[in-house]
Structure 1
Amino acid sequence: MRISDWEGGHALPEQAASDVRTFGIYRVRDYFERAGIGHLVLHHAGQRWEGVVRNPAAATGVRSGTVVEVQFSATLDGPSSICFIRALESGEYQPSQVMPTSWCIDGSDPDRLRTLIERLTTAPFRHWMEAVVDDLALLKRFFQLKASYKHHHSVPGGLLRHSLETAEIVEKTLRDAPATCSTLIDDTLRDGLVLAALFHDFGKTISHASTSPWLLRKTDHRHLSLVALAMHLPRLAELSVPAHAVFVHSLIQDALGKGYASPLPMVDAVRMADRVSTGLWMHADIQGGRLTE
């Protein structure tokens, strides 16, 4: 979809009676200037929206990665136009609502991640996840990498898809388990295990990244997930010491393959869900139905 030329922060002249104004908040994929004209590319719903900014001065603060509020003007007999744009400051937007969806092969996957975050029941984990998904360098690797080179989910975007499947399986297991085995699962444990499932392969953002040092590319990814999240873990500890402890413990137990030895219930659910997601992919691969490039 292509947005028609924008005159930069001013209302379009002679607005028709049928003019309809709509607002939206978007992440800027790219912004650059050439020959005195600005070029704007927005992420939205798995698509790239492109437009021309003829008055670059009106786009002050708008750069790649910026979150912007945009007002569109549409008429019954003409194309949509941008008539207003403003760069938002941190705190004025919710990062999970403006994740760069067009980085993904399947634009529905970021939406699944967003709703997963919304279903978290503890404030510390929700606030922490908002900070994690606002880390664009980290998010880009998570969204674009394969889960494996030749095995399961071995296509671009496969790491995100496999991680979501694993987290959703754990989420359902934790919802059903108390009713079947009288297991006490509090909200912190529930959210911690769901996020441990989401990030159980996150070390691949290091071990499978071509930009990583060769030594880390030769390191078992299971021991790198906490390393990949290292910049964000102090914030989680500030928000909640128990939440930090549950999350770190669960990822370590999973990496060591010793969930059964944990003093917490259901830690082994992460490994179980990982295997279920992998098995379903391999079956779908045989049947010819899978996430494709």
Structure 2
Amino acid sequence: MSQRVFRFAPSPNGALHLGHAYSALRNYELAQECGGVMLLRMEDIDTVRCTPQFEQRIVEDLHWLGITWPEPVRRQSDHFEDYRNALARLQEMGLVYPAFLTRRQIRDKVNETDKKWPRDPDGAPHYPGDERLLPERKRLELISSGLPFAWRLDMQKACAIAGSALTWRESGNGPDGQTGLIDAEPERWGDVILARKDTPTSYHLSVVIDDALQEISDVVRGHDLFHATSVHRLLQRLLNLPEPNYRHHRLLTDESGRKLSKSSGDTAIGALRERGLTAENVIQKCKTGARI
């Protein structure tokens, strides 16, 4: 039996906080338990907000927690060509289209009080999708004009090509108690963004490409990405990529019950170190969720 491969994949656009540490520790411990390995990946497709300084701080914090990984670290910004190639395959299949509406234009088209307008699991309204029907000549004219645009997945067409019985195996415990074989429902997301004019990928596209190229066998991440797995399973089916095992873990929250964010400076690992906490203190906090 081949070695199982896990990964921790932070975005170096801020300091590592307790929620990140919990996810990193879960991946590292599960890998050790089964004799596997945990890789570190830097999801830095946002080349403006992601910086080498934040990356170095993440590395230092992880080492302080006792977490190690094999080199080299994969940086998404070094592999844009991989994502361009995947996008090109979807373009050849006629599954993506350039979408030119701005956020303001989307709001103008979508009445925010219209409860009948479909929304994705995060609550955002589905893209109106009018541009799916634009003639190719008109699309090329708009692209040549210099307008910013995003490449969106034609969800209805993609689901039709992917076929039925799209599922994943959940070995954790989903946010609503789901476990076992989960029916994927990518259509709930509407026409998701797969790339932008100036960035040849998005989280959805890059994560499935990276997981396949790095031969990730086990994806362990927070409940907040549970429903996004439906989109990832769809892309895996369309691009003929392997299906990892999935496990979604609980999220650490603040006093108000909200998920920890990078703006919560008091939960940053570096801030806790400065307060005199030991790595053992932080690890225990992650395991129990106790207040620090």
Query: Per the shorter chain, which TM-score range?
Result: under 0.3
Name the one with the larger helix percent.
1
Structure showing greater relative contact order (alpha-carbon pairs closer than 8 Å, 6 or more residues apart):
2
TM-score, normalised via structure 2 length:
0.23
TM-score, normalised via structure 1 length:
0.23
